[in-house]
């Protein structure tokens, strides 16, 4: 998916990195097992984070066993032996991928549309399987996409309104990782702020390209930007940084109310270092560089 919710490898311990990689690699394996080989290419840091968060809060202790990478058998890795949380992340990611491809067909240029046309039949078949397993998630994502499309068609200049559908979707998905009602209330706020952050990060990251191609972008409308106005675009990025900082602060504040049973170091690394680092890159105007491999 977006790829902004990722680890900051420079400061993570070796043991934590190996466990994070184990969750990431197990998600890849479960995607292939549940939805076919091509589904492995939809692997994302965002869904790894969702699985990691649910595993951190679960009553059941996770277990890891030695394994090897499916694409590179010479590469050793860990695999999680309890996969319920990872399977849920795989199902959600599969549903999101289908709707993302539908969005690409509606908004992108010929090259990306051609790729989406080729991928859509496989994504649709995978989504049908995922919908049987998670009908409520499919309905939630479909509702979010419809609301998002309506706002974009209305060309809304309200950044808050534009971010609301994705934020509400993440609110529900995050609450689904809770082990009890108290956690669910905290995770609703956590997910909402995370969803706002992810949506607005993507909007800022795509700002210059959206202007060039005449696509909707909430910052372009709100600040009446023109293609090629580099100074105004960079000023908009700096302006967006204020909102993004507030979203990150609220995410961390909500997380501090949780009582994770494990993986706290990894989750804090992502929230307090990995996400701010990704934000800094986007605000500086660097192109999308969402690394796919660990």
Place of tokens 């649910």: 54
Q: For the chain, state the CA radius of gyration.
A: 19
Give all domains of the chain, ordered by start, each with its CATH number: 9-283 (1.10.600.10)
- Mean pLDDT, residues 128-133: 97
pTM, two decimal places: 0.92
pLDDT value, residue 112: 66
pLDDT value, residue 108: 60
In angstroms, the first-to-last Cα distance of the chain is: 16
Tens-digit pLDDT profile for residues 18-55: 999 999 999 999 999 999 998 998 999 999 999 999 99
pLDDT band at residue 290 using 50, 70 and 90 as cut-offs: very low
Question: CB atoms < 10 A from the CB of 18, how many?
Answer: 14
**Structure token pair of residue 197:** 């952050």
Where is pLDDT greater, at 119 or 167?
167
C-alpha atoms less than 13 angstroms from C-alpha of 140 in its C-beta half-sphere: 17
pLDDT band at residue 118 using 50, 70 and 90 as cut-offs: confident
Question: CB atoms < 10 A from the CB of 153, how many?
Answer: 9
Tens-digit pLDDT profile for residues 221-256: 999 999 999 999 999 999 999 999 999 999 999 999
Report the alpha-carbon distance of residue 214 to residue 226 in Å, rounded: 10
Is the pLDDT confidence value at 193 over 80?
A: yes
pLDDT value, residue 113: 66
């Amino acid at each position: 998916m977006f790829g902004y919710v990722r680890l900051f490898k420079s400061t993570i311990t070796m043991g934590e990195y190996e466990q994070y990689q184990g969750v990431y690699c197990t998600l890849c394996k479960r995607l292939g097992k549940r939805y076919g080989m091509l589904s492995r290419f939809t692997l994302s840091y965002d869904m790894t984070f969702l699985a990691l968060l649910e595993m951190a809060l679960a009553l059941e202790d996770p277990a890891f066993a030695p394994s090897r990478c499916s694409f590179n058998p010479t590469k050793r890795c860990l695999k999680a032996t309890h996969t319920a949380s990872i399977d849920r992340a795989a199902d959600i990611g599969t549903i999101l991928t289908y709707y993302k491809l539908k969005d690409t067909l509606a908004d992108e240029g010929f090259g990306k549309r051609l790729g989406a046309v080729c991928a859509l039949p496989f994504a649709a078949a995978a989504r049908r399987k995922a919908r049987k397993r998670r009908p409520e998630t499919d309905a939630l994502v479909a509702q979010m996409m419809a609301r998002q499309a309506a706002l974009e068609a209305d060309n809304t200049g309200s950044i808050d309104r534009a971010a609301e559908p994705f934020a509400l979707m993440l609110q529900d998905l995050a609450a689904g990782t809770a082990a009890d009602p108290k956690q669910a209330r905290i995770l609703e706020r956590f997910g909402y702020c995370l969803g706002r952050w992810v949506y607005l990060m993507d909007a800022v990251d795509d700002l210059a390209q959206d202007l060039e191609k005449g696509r909707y972008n909430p910052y372009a409308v709100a600040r009446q930007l023109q293609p090629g106005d580099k100074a105004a675009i960079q000023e908009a990025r700096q302006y967006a940084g204020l909102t993004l900082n507030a979203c990150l602060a609220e995410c961390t504040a909500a997380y501090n109310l949780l009582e994770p049973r494990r993986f706290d170091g990894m989750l804090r690394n992502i929230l307090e270092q990995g996400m701010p680092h990704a934000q800094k890159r986007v605000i500086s105007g660097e192109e999308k560089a969402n690394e796919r491999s660990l």
